[in-house]
């Protein structure tokens, strides 16, 4: 995806998040890098797993390069999910919670926002911390 198109997509997703949550939309954003699934899985899980995106360090969001992020709303929702984590970090959200609880609450919120995004676009998808990639990117998405 060319940088101009990515910039427009990021701005659109951040504006949507800002309109549907109490997160402020920042002027700066993380970089987005498309990477092979094995790299995403290693960053997210340390081994093979169904992760399609990951935001590991505060500077770069990695998205599975097999996703059609430019045209597929479900793929775009993966980026939206990771942008929620970016905003959580910027906002200092959930820092008062113990790490294990914080991880769960961060994912719960990001999946909830992702589900609203997909539902508004007519997609009916069941997912969460234990979803299967095939089911997520299946016929309904």
pTM strictly above 0.85:
yes
Q: Where are the domains of the chain?
A: 3-136
Burial class (CB in 10 A: 0-12, 13-18, 19+), 55: buried
Query: Phi, psi at residue 89, to the nearest 5°?
Result: -65, -45
pLDDT reported for residue 3: 87
For 83-105, write each residue's pLDDT tens digit: 999 999 999 999 999 998 999 99
């Amino acid at each position: 995806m060319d940088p101009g198109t990515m910039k427009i997509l990021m701005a659109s997703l951040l504006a949507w998040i800002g309109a549907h949550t109490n997160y402020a939309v920042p002027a700066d954003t993380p970089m987005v890098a498309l990477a092979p699934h094995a790299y995403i899985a290693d960053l997210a899980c340390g081994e093979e797993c169904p992760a399609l995106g990951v935001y590991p360090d505060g500077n770069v969001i990695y998205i599975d390069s097999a996703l059609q992020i430019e045209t597929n709303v479900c793929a775009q929702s993966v980026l939206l999910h990771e942008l929620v984590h970016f905003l959580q970090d910027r906002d200092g959200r959930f820092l008062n919670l113990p790490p294990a609880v914080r991880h769960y609450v961060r994912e719960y919120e990001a999946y909830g926002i992702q589900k609203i995004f997909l539902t508004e676009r007519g997609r009916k998808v069941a997912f969460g911390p234990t979803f299967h990639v095939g089911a997520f990117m299946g016929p309904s998405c």
